[in-house]
Structure 1
Amino acid sequence: MKLIGDIGGTKTLLALVDDAGRSNARCRFASAEFATFDDLLAAYLREVNTPIDGGCLAVAGPVANDGRSAKVTNLPWQIDCALLEARFGLGRVRLINDFAAVAHGIAALKSEQMIFLQAGEPCQEGVKLVLGAGTGLGMAIIAGGRILPSEGGHIGFAPLDETQWQTWRALQARYGRVTAERVISGPGMENLHRILAGEELDAAAILARARQNEPAALRTLEVFCTAYGAFAGDMALAVLAHGGVFLAGGVTQHLLPELGSSGFVAAFNDKAEHAELVRRIPVAVVTDPDIGLQGAAAALQSGAFR
């Protein structure tokens, strides 16, 4: 059996996969409950008690060029494959970026695992863009069969209007450099609400209040969706994603009922002289919550690490 994982700032999913690609022993962990990934993995291995011969772990953060170490962006976790192998006797383990894993999983998605916000005019051979809001803001590119990891979520945030400039100024005073992730993520939604409504709420509470038509939460959600759409459209334009844009991430999936009726699509397409170009780009939400885990398994099956 081989180990697969999707390691994120909020949750970590681990499972085992056999040589035929069949997975089992899936477990979900709250990442913040463990001081290190090693501690979390030890808890998992006590549960499954099965010999493991290698694996692939998807990590929410930049991965070293050799695929053997990584720092989780939104946790104080360092992951070192050599140390994991020596401590747990795992065989050869490789790491990939979490959105590179999502990209690996895109090819195997069924139509019922996607909901289109914009049908567009798909070009099967075109570049595909995978991005999404969760604890952070992830991104990867599929071009000519190659999967290119990206830290595009950490580009500078581009305000669209006075409300977003107000947000930018407050974030700049607090953090210094203002990245897209500071706005377009679970913590980003919380930042927005603190600045616009003057109260501290977590993202789940903001969404719950918005669904009860509470005005301040509705405003936060609309600013969030508009900023998200603008960023996605900018990135689609940057890579000419004629093959489509695929939105993943926990926040994205929780927001699915709102994305289609918010300003997301309008902001995605609001690209001045290139508006017609981006209107032809399909935009879909990936609804499979295990897409990163399945992508890690697909990376193993593809022979990407051989």
Structure 2
Amino acid sequence: MTGAGTGLGLAWLQQGNAHATEGSHTGFAPADEEQNRLLQQLCSGKPSVSWEELLSGMGLQRLYYFVSGGKRLPAAEITTAAEQGDESATAAVALFWRIFANWAGNFALFYRPAGGIYLTGGVTNRLLPMLDRDEFISAYCDKGGMRSLVETTAVFVVTGAIAQIRDGIEGLEI
């Protein structure tokens, strides 16, 4: 289970026991050229950037700052602006989901969770209506030679109930 909210949580379940981790503080690994540029901008003046710095409310603000050319907005206003079709806010949310998918794909490789990966958290749920499922699945499965392993790991979003994003290799089932 991993969740974007005020921070980025990460835990795994084994034989009925939950194990919390601090894995979200590991170094962010960009998946494409845009994310490389983001990392370069964020590393200016500091040695590293963690996944949590991008996949949280503050992370959404950092992503908006990056895609908007230096404008600042609180996360709630970015979400509202994206819902209203603002180009920079929409781009920030889309980038958030691609990075979250990359993170979740890494999680699938680290733990190989037979029961799937569960996405939780307030930011996750608030941005869920703006999720492009096909783009998410593409970024989630983009793991080179390990793609087939990731494709077999289901991803769910925990809301009031569980909304299924992806179920195995057959593709998207809603």
Task: State the 1:144 CA deviation.
Answer: 2.0
For 1:144 and 1:202, locate their aligned partners in 2 and report how far apart those are by CA, in whole Å.
40
* Bigger helix fraction: 2
Alignment of 1:1-306 (within 5 A): 130-197=1-68, 198-261=70-133, 263-288=135-160
Task: State the 1:254 CA deviation.
Answer: 0.5
The superposition leaves residues 189-222 of structure 1 with CA deviations (integer Å, 9 ceiling, x where unpaired) of 1011112212001111111111112111111111
Aligned residue pairs, count: 160
TM-score by length of 2: 0.86
> Which letter does structure 1 place at the counterpart of 2:109?
L
Query: Percent same amino acid at aligned positions?
Result: 38
For 1:230 and 1:145, locate their aligned partners in 2 and report how far apart those are by CA, in whole Å.
27
Task: State the 1:265 CA deviation.
Answer: 2.0
Q: Which runs of 4+ in 1 moved over 6 A?
A: none
For 1:270 and 1:260, locate their aligned partners in 2 and report how far apart those are by CA, in whole Å.
16
Q: Quick check: 1:194–1:200 contact (8 Å CA) kept in 2?
A: yes
> Which letter does structure 2 place at the counterpart of 1:194?
Y
Change (3 A) 1:253 1:213: same
Task: State the 1:262 CA deviation.
Answer: 6.2
Which secondary structure state, in structure 2, belongs to the residue aligned with residue 147 of structure 1? Answer: strand
The superposition leaves residues 22-75 of structure 1 with CA deviations (integer Å, 9 ceiling, x where unpaired) of xxxxxxxxxxxxxxxxxxxxxxxxxxxxxxxxxxxxxxxxxxxxxxxxxxxxxx
Counterpart of 1:6 in structure 2 is: none
The superposition leaves residues 166-194 of structure 1 with CA deviations (integer Å, 9 ceiling, x where unpaired) of 11112111543210011111100101111
Which secondary structure state, in structure 2, belongs to the residue aligned with residue 201 of structure 1? Answer: coil
For 1:137 and 1:216, locate their aligned partners in 2 and report how far apart those are by CA, in whole Å.
23
Task: State the 1:276 CA deviation.
Answer: 1.8
Unaligned runs of 5+ in 2: 162-174
Which secondary structure state, in structure 2, belongs to the residue aligned with residue 263 of structure 1? Answer: helix
For 1:147 and 1:216, locate their aligned partners in 2 and report how far apart those are by CA, in whole Å.
38
TM-score by length of 1: 0.50
* Bigger strand fraction: 1
Which secondary structure state, in structure 1, belongs to the residue aligned with residue 66 of structure 2? Answer: helix
Say which one has the larger Rg: 1
Unaligned runs of 5+ in 1: 1-129, 290-306
Q: Quick check: 2:93–2:127 contact (8 Å CA) kept in 1?
A: no
Which secondary structure state, in structure 2, belongs to the residue aligned with residue 247 of structure 1? Answer: strand
